[in-house]
Amino acid sequence: MKTKLINLAVASAFMMAAGTAVAEDAYQGSWYLMPGIGVMHADNDLDADDNDVAYSLRLGKQLSEHWDVQVGASHAQADEDSNLYNSGKFKQTLFGVDALYMFSRDNFRPFLLAGLGAARNKVGYSNPAGNSESNTSWMANVGVGFQYLINETVGLQADLRHVWSKAEATGVFGAAGAKDEETIGNTYLNLG
């Protein structure tokens, strides 16, 4: 059921983007590829390091004077940092579609973004019970950022986004040995 909802959300985002493109008939926007690096600030409920490196790859398309769409994936991991566990990592892999509302098409282009997709969360902490949990869930994110064109073929994008998803782990969110699934919110600062 969750997979069907995620597929429906992604398909809806594509159809809305396509409808915008058709409405603005002759707009000839560019395609772009954006590898990126960033920092993930993990949700406090994860008992993980506050700031760890994130990597991403996105494919974008200018749809109209004000709209871009980006499809991409990112991965981040953070070391366990509490005294409850011996060691381990929290890992998050995201795949999603983002709609960007561009305020300008000048060299400096501020934007707002919102997106949907899927998240794979793995809480792999070594604890006395030896439990490790992974799950795939929906993902939603919102953010703000800007693009800056250096020349006609090279540019930069920076954004700050907050990403919500579900994570499941034994003993991480509740009492030791109790399985709990909770919505978590990680914040990403990305440069591409």
pLDDT of residue 134: 77
CB 145 within 8 A of CB 104: no
**Helix (H), strand (E) at residue 167:** strand 155-170
* pLDDT of 124: 72
Q: Taking the model in full, what pTM does it have?
A: 0.77
> Is 17 within 8 Å of 29 (Cβ atoms)?
no
Where residue 3 falls among pLDDT bands split at 50, 70, 90? low
Query: In whole angstroms, what is the distance from residue 107 CA to residue 115 CA?
Result: 24
Q: CA torsion, points 128, 164, 141, 79, in degrees to nearest 10?
A: -20
Dist CA 122 CA 137 (whole Å): 11
pLDDT confidence of 91, banded at 50, 70, 90?
confident
Q: What is the band of 126 on the pLDDT scale with cuts at 50, 70, 90?
A: low
H or E element, residue 93: strand 87-102
pLDDT digits 0-9 by tens, 134-192: 789 999 999 999 999 999 889 999 999 999 998 875 445 555 555 567 888 999 999 99
pLDDT in tens, 33-89: 999 999 999 888 777 777 889 999 999 999 999 999 999 999 998 877 665 555 677
Separation of alpha carbons 75 and 93, rounded Å: 4
DSSP tag of 54: E
- Is residue 70 exposed (0-12), middle (13-18) or buried (19+ Cβ within 10 Å)? buried
